[in-house]
Amino acid sequence: MADAARNAQSHKALMGLRSIVLGGEVAPGQRLSEPTLSARLGISRTPLRQAIQQLVEEGLLERVPSGGVRVRALSIVDVVDAIELRGVIEGTAARLAAERGAPVADLRACRSVADEIDIALGQSAADVDFERYAALNDRFHDLVNGLCGSEMVMREYQRITALPMARPSAFLQAQAAMSEIRQSLFGAQEQHRAVLQAIEAREGSRAEAICREHARLAHANLKAVLDARRSVQDTVPGLSLVSDTGRVGGG
């Protein structure tokens, strides 16, 4: 029971602190006050410090030379690089899955989720169930990456997708409010199907290329979100941490 209580407190601390940071309640560069956060979240200092360390490792917080931590300010280039790295990792995972041979049952599970995504998409961009799609999209990516059977690759995937806006479904809430990029979801679903076909056919290079191209859709979505920043600020967790410096895709 004691271990369960500690785990619950640790989870509460991590989720609460991440929500505060990504929600923009603390400005980039601002130091965090442990007493204030402890009282705000209703937790003791020990799980709070563990949560702080986790967010330092994820790149949301950074240590201050004089002591303590502050919210890290991100550049657009940081976000672009994180998305690019996700594409590299997912491409590697898909290639390894194709070359090594993915278990039939696991491929079947991926296709089942893809079928559910079709239902969530509906017949047109106006019919998309974004909440359902977001959950299924993240689930699909997790399953496909797991086909490679590599714990090392999966650890890196989990690490990179913990960064702001690097998760496959990071921009979906903004997409719900932006009709101009809703249609990209249908192209993304075609790529979902294509990568499964490539893995099943043991075409490693093709599977890798599709995943790299798939991640590039997020670059276009990032640019659209930044162009409409004021209207979607509250729908993209972590957007408040990103400065307006840098350029996306040369645009």
How sure is the predictor about 1, in pLDDT bands with cuts at 50, 70 and 90? very low
Token pair of 20 as six digits: 């505060």
In whole angstroms, what separates CA 8 from the centre of its chain?
Answer: 23
| Residue where the block lists tokens 């056919």 | 201
Domains recognised in the chain with CATH numbers: 1-71 (1.10.10.10), 76-241 (1.20.120.530)
The whole-number average pLDDT for the span 105-126 is 93
Please, what's the b/e burial string for 76-103 (b: 16 or more CB within 10 A of its CB; e: otherwise)? bebbbebbbbbbebbbbbbbbbbbeebe
> Mean of the pLDDT values across residues 168-186?
70
More confident: 242 or 68:
68
- Predicted confidence at residue 245, as pLDDT, reads 55
- Which residue from 76, 42, 81 is spatially nearest to 242, judged by alpha carbons? 76
pLDDT tens per residue across span 130-176: 888 888 999 999 999 999 999 999 999 988 887 767 888 777 666 55
Please name the residues in contact with 37: beta carbons below 8 A apart, sequence gap of 6 or more: 17, 20, 48
Q: Is the pLDDT of residue 235 over 70?
A: no
pLDDT reported for residue 172: 67
**N-to-C CA span, the chain:** 55
